[in-house]
């Protein structure tokens, strides 16, 4: 009977060792996946912040030549968080709406500012031109502000979706 006890003991020890190794591997893989997803979620949030900063700068600078830096955001989303596609797409549409609101505002305000300066140089009363300029500025600012608010809200929705996905996947 001693040999059977020794064989059973060895089998149990080997099974326990293999099971411990397998469980360690499973838990390490799960922890590593959570770490990668968290890092990629942080990278997406950084990209969102960068895009908000970029769009906000466009409010001051009329620069139609520079394209928005959406590439990294879309790449990270497609690789790690495919379920957030609708939110990221909506965020892109909101960014485009802000840019579409900014471009005509720059043009209209630049022309109105030139008109005011021209009247002042001629020594004429620029009150009407100033009123027109103020009205234009207020109208464009209202339109741009609404688009910016929707844009920022869309960025929050992307962040919330990414956080939810990280929690669900880990």
Distance of CA 112 to the CA centre of its chain: 34
pLDDT at residue 66, as a whole number: 65
Mean pLDDT in order along the chain per 10 residues (170 residues):
80 85 87 90 91 78 67 89 92 86 73 73 71 76 85 92 88
- Residue 97 makes CB contacts below 8 A (sequence gap 6+) with 147, 150, 151
Neighbour tally for 133: CB within 10 Å:
19
101 assigned to some structural domain: yes
Query: How many domains does the chain contain in total?
Result: 1
77 assigned to some structural domain: yes
Task: Give the span between the Cα atoms of 154 and 136, in whole angstroms.
Answer: 27
55 assigned to some structural domain: yes
pLDDT at residue 11, as a whole number: 83
**Is 0.85 topped by the overall pTM?**
no
pLDDT at residue 150, as a whole number: 92
pLDDT at residue 65, as a whole number: 60
C-beta of residue 59 within 8 angstroms of C-beta of residue 144: yes
139 assigned to some structural domain: yes
């Amino acid at each position: 009977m001693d040999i059977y006890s020794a064989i059973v003991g060895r089998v149990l020890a080997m099974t326990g060792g293999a099971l411990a190794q397998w469980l360690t591997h499973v838990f390490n893989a799960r922890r590593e996946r959570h770490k990668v997803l968290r890092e990629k979620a942080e990278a997406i949030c950084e990209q969102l912040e960068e895009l908000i900063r970029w769009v906000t700068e466009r409010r001051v600078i009329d620069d139609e030549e520079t394209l928005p830096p959406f590439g990294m955001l879309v790449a990270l989303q497609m690789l790690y968080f495919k379920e957030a596609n609708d939110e990221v797409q909506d965020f892109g549409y909101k960014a485009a709406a802000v840019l579409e609101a900014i471009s005509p505002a720059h043009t209209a305000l630049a022309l109105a500012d030139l008109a005011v300066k021209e009247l002042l140089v001629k020594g004429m009363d620029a009150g009407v031109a100033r009123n027109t300029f103020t009205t234009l500025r207020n109208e464009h600012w209202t339109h741009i502000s609404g688009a910016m608010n929707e844009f920022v809200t869309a960025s929050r929705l992307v962040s919330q979706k990414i956080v939810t996905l990280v929690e669900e996947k880990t």
